[in-house]
Amino acid sequence: MISRFYNYLQGVRSNLWFTPALFSLVFFAITLTSYFLETKYLSENFNLPSLFFDIGVEDAKDISLSLLGSTITLATLAISVTMVALSLAASQLGPRLIKVFMADKRTKALIGVFFGVVFACFTLTLILHTSNEAEYKYQITINLVFMFCFIDLFVLLAFINHVAKSCIADNVVLDVKRELESAIRRLAENAPKVNKKSCPKKKDWEAHFEDNTASLYFEDCGYIQNVDYDKIVKIAKDKSLYINVLHEAGDYIFKGQECLKISPENMLEDDTREALKNAFIIDNVRTATQDLEYSVRHMVEIAIRALSPGINDSFTAANVVDHLSGALSILLRQDFRVEWKSCPNEETFIHIKSKSEEEILISAFDKIRDSASNTPFVLQKTVDNLSILLTLSDEAEQKKTIKSQIKLLKDNLK
C-alpha cells in the first residue's frame, strides 16, 4: 500500500501543473479574503498611509487590466524559459532527465508564483468591474495585488538565475545523485526484514511446486512499476498457499507471460486469482518506486552521453563516476539481498525475485566502461573509485564483483 501511494506521489511530483495550480488557488483565495474583509469590516472612511496607492475605482480598473496583461506575459516568459531549459537538458544530458527537472520543487514554486499573481490580478479585475460601489476605493485589496506584482519582478530574476544553474551539467548530476541516494535509503527502509534462519529450506519449498501447481499469467504488456508483497503474503496466509513471485519491479513483461506459481492449485479460487493479479501495477514506463536500477540508469545515461563522440565531455563523465560511486557506497552498506517475504509472525512465506547489490553495481559500471574504452582519464577515475569501494565493502560477493570490474577496467587501460 505504501509503495502504491509513493508511485502515485511520484507521478504528481514529476509534473509541472500541480504546484502552479495550488499557488493559483492560494493567491485567488488571498485576494478574495482581502476583498471580503475590507468591504465587511472596514468603514468607508478608512484610509491607508500616503505611502500606498490611493486611487479611484476607474483608475484602478485601467491599471488592473494593464497588470493582468503584464503578468500573463511574465508567466508566458517563464514557460518559454522552462521549455528552453528542458530542451537543453534533453539534448545534452538525456530526455529521461526531464522528469528530474520537472520534479524540482523550486522550479515549480517559482512558476506557481507567476500563475498565482495572474490569478490575483484577474480576481481584482473582476471585483472592480462587477462592483456597484463606485465610491469605495478597495485600498487594501488593490495595494495587496500591486505588491504581488512588484514581488513578481524579483521572482522573475530568481527564476532566471535558478534555471541557469539548473542547466549546468554538474548541478544536474548532483540532483540525480540525490534522487538515487533517496531511493537507496527509502528502499532499504522498506526492504523485508526476515530472519534468514527461519526461512524455509529451498528443497522443501520447491517440493511444494512439483505437483498440484497453478500458474497465473499477465494480461497486459509493460513494465512492472510496483509489486504489493504485503498483499500477496496476506493472501498466502489466509488461503494457506505457497507462492513464488517470478518477476520484480522494473521487469518488462508480455501478455500471457507467467507471473506467479501457486501451490496447491485446488485452494486457488477465482477471486484469489484476481486479487493476486491486482498486486502488480503495470504501465508503459519504469518508475523509481521499487526499481533501484531505474535510478542508477539515470546517472549512467549522463555519463554515456558525455562520452559520446558528439559531446566528448570526459569531465562530466568523471563527475558522474564520482557521484555514482558515492551513492553506491551507501548501497553496499544496505542489505538488499532478499529472497523471502513473510508475515509478522514469520509463519507464512512467499519467495520473491530481487536484485542483489552486485547486480546493481554491475549494471552501473558495465556500460560506462564500454563507453569510456577510448578515454583513459575516465577509466582510471573509475578504477580509483572502485578501489575505495573495495575497502568499504565487507561482503565476499561484493568484493568479488568489484575486483572483477577493476580487472576489466585495467584490461581496457592497457
Three cell numbers written together for 25: 488557488
Predicted local confidence at residue 6, as pLDDT: 62
**DSSP letter assigned to residue 414:** -
Answer yes or no: are the C-beta atoms of 218 and 254 closer than 8 Å: yes
Average pLDDT over residues 264-276: 85
Cα 297 from Cα 312, distance rounded (Å)? 19
Query: Cell 477471486 maps to which residue?
Result: 271
Predicted local confidence at residue 192, as pLDDT: 60
Phi, psi of 65 (to 5 degrees): -65, -40
Predicted local confidence at residue 346, as pLDDT: 67
Structure confidence at residue 215 as a pLDDT band (50, 70, 90): confident
Predicted local confidence at residue 223, as pLDDT: 93
- DSSP reduced 3-state for 286: coil
Answer yes or no: are the C-beta atoms of 101 and 107 closer than 8 Å: yes
> Cis ω on the peptide bond leading into residue 344 (within 30° of 0)?
no
Q: Is the pLDDT of residue 401 over 60?
A: yes
Q: Is the pLDDT of residue 47 over 70?
A: no
Predicted local confidence at residue 58, as pLDDT: 77
Structure confidence at residue 69 as a pLDDT band (50, 70, 90): very high
Cα 376 from Cα 413, distance rounded (Å)? 6
Predicted local confidence at residue 412, as pLDDT: 84
- DSSP reduced 3-state for 133: coil
Cα 68 from Cα 152, distance rounded (Å)? 12
Give the DSSP per-residue string, 151-201.
Answer: HHHHHHHHHHHHHHHHTSHHHHHHHHHHHHHHHHHHHHHHS----GGGSPP
Q: Is the pLDDT of residue 377 over 70?
A: yes
Predicted local confidence at residue 325, as pLDDT: 92
Q: Is the pLDDT of residue 22 over 90?
A: yes
Predicted local confidence at residue 159, as pLDDT: 93
Task: Return the closest-CA partner of residue 45 out of 135, 173, 144, 160.
Answer: 135
Predicted local confidence at residue 4, as pLDDT: 62
Q: Which stretches does DSSP call E strand in 198-342?
A: 214-217, 222-227, 242-245, 252-253, 258-263, 280-283, 340-342
**H or E element in which residue 412 lies:** helix 396-413
Three cell numbers written together for 122: 484577474
Mean pLDDT, the chain, as a whole number? 83
| Residue that wins the pLDDT comparison between 345 and 98 | 98
Predicted local confidence at residue 345, as pLDDT: 66
| Residue that wins the pLDDT comparison between 377 and 56 | 377
pLDDT 10s digits, 304-333? 988 988 888 899 999 999 999 998 888 887
Query: b or e along 365-396 (b: 16 or more beta carbons within 10 Å of the residue's beta carbon)?
Result: bebbbebbeebeebbebbbebbeebbeebebe
Range in 143-157, 326-340, 384-398 with the lowest mean pLDDT: 326-340
Answer yes or no: are the C-beta atoms of 239 and 193 closer than 8 Å: no
Q: Which residues pair with 342 in a beta bridge?
A: 349
**DSSP letter assigned to residue 6:** H
Cα 210 from Cα 212, distance rounded (Å)? 7
Answer yes or no: are the C-beta atoms of 209 and 232 closer than 8 Å: no
Cα 311 from Cα 282, distance rounded (Å)? 35
Predicted local confidence at residue 357, as pLDDT: 75
Task: Return the closest-CA partner of residue 180 out of 338, 95, 14, 292.
Answer: 292
Predicted local confidence at residue 197, as pLDDT: 65
Predicted local confidence at residue 49, as pLDDT: 55
Structure confidence at residue 349 as a pLDDT band (50, 70, 90): confident
Cα 363 from Cα 300, distance rounded (Å)? 9
Three cell numbers written together for 363: 549494471
Task: Return the closest-CA partner of residue 86 out of 167, 162, 13.
Answer: 167
Cα 332 from Cα 350, distance rounded (Å)? 25
Three cell numbers written together for 158: 530568481
